[in-house]
Amino acid sequence: MFKTRLLSGILLVIIALVTVITGRELLFGVLLLISLIGMTELYKVFGIEKKPPGIVGYIFAVLYYVLIYFENSLPGEKNTWFMLLFMGCLICMMAVLVFGYPKYNTQQIFAAFFGVFYVAVMLSYIYQTRNLPGGVFTVWLVFICAWGCDTCAYCVGMLIGKHKMAPVLSPKKSVEGGIGGILGAALIGVLYGLAINHWGNAGADVVSFAVIGAVGGAISQIGDLAASAIKRYHNIKDYGKLIPGHGGILDRFDSVIFTAPIIYYLAVLL
């Protein structure tokens, strides 16, 4: 299992490197595909992956990505287009509930709408961060905060973890590990900032990278636990089997989903 997990992890890193460095249409297409797969995994939990609520979710996820791609050429205020899209999505979801009644319950409808935002919208911020000025460097903070925090939290928790963070939901996670993950993500952010300043002449603000690392690390743990809560509530071990040794897209990207938008807005503000 460890060998399988390691090899899958290496392959994921290679794919991420090629995709993110290339950016543009390749990154856009890969993120759209990942979003649709992640939505399918979530929809399977609620039994709507091949039913009208799920189909409506897929359609509006694709429409959202189309708006993201063409947002700079949209007429008028671009936020109006996105609000119109989400209102249209909600209306269509409720139409499925009304005209399909009582075939689908409200939990399935809410899950379908939630999936569009939780998976497609949140993951799209990787692409949006990559398109920022200096985004070729900043975008890696999304993964540094998520996966770096996870690694540091695991190591610190194994060494000195005593107080349970969420004893019922995730008994193995400790408060000490959580704090270690946040501090570790901040430290990695500093080291990353120093590295790209030295070798890439990025002009990165190391203090900002430390803040982004710490905040991103804290948020990533909420993302991890949130995904676990959904799985525990519905009594499933993994969302899927797409990535050997890791599970599905949502199992591997649960923390990234939360860090991506946070990194984007912190990068814009700081």
Residue 172: count of CB within 10 angstroms of its CB: 13
Per-residue model confidence (pLDDT) at position 63: 97
More confident residue, 202 or 258: 258
Q: What's the mean pLDDT in 38-51?
A: 96
Q: What's the mean pLDDT in 132-140?
A: 91
Per-residue model confidence (pLDDT) at position 2: 57
12 Cβ contact list (under 8 Å, min separation 6): 243, 246, 252
CB-based contact 142:86 (threshold 8 Å): no
Separation between Cα atoms, residue 96 and residue 98, nearest integer Å:
6
Q: What's the mean pLDDT in 198-216?
A: 87
For residue 216, pLDDT beyond 90:
yes
Burial class (CB in 10 A: 0-12, 13-18, 19+), 84: exposed
For residue 208, pLDDT beyond 80:
yes
Q: Which residues pair with 164 in a beta bridge?
A: 174
Q: What's the mean pLDDT in 237-264?
A: 88
- Tens of pLDDT, residue by residue over 86-130, are 999 999 999 999 999 999 999 999 999 999 999 999 999 999 999
Model confidence at 13, pLDDT cuts 50, 70, 90, reads confident
pTM here?
Answer: 0.92
206 Cβ contact list (under 8 Å, min separation 6): 190, 193, 194, 197
Separation between Cα atoms, residue 31 and residue 142, nearest integer Å:
14
Per-residue model confidence (pLDDT) at position 59: 98
Per-residue model confidence (pLDDT) at position 5: 67
Average confidence score pLDDT of the chain: 90
- Tens of pLDDT, residue by residue over 48-83, are 999 999 999 999 999 999 999 998 888 888 889 999
Burial class (CB in 10 A: 0-12, 13-18, 19+), 197: middle
Tokens 């690694």 — which residue?
Answer: 151
Burial class (CB in 10 A: 0-12, 13-18, 19+), 190: middle
Q: What's the mean pLDDT in 170-199?
A: 90
Q: What's the mean pLDDT in 120-143?
A: 94
For residue 1, pLDDT beyond 60:
no
Question: Of 169, 138, 158, nearest to 232 (Cα)?
Answer: 169
The percent of residues in the chain predicted with pLDDT above 70, rounded, is 98
- Tens of pLDDT, residue by residue over 161-178, are 888 888 888 888 899 999
For residue 142, pLDDT beyond 90:
yes
Per-residue model confidence (pLDDT) at position 237: 86
Per-residue model confidence (pLDDT) at position 243: 78
Distances (CA, A) of 65 to 52, 206, 238: 20, 32, 27
Separation between Cα atoms, residue 269 and residue 9, nearest integer Å:
32
Per-residue model confidence (pLDDT) at position 89: 97
Could you please report the per-residue DSSP string of 168-183? TTEEEEEHHHHHHHHH
Q: What's the mean pLDDT in 193-197?
A: 91
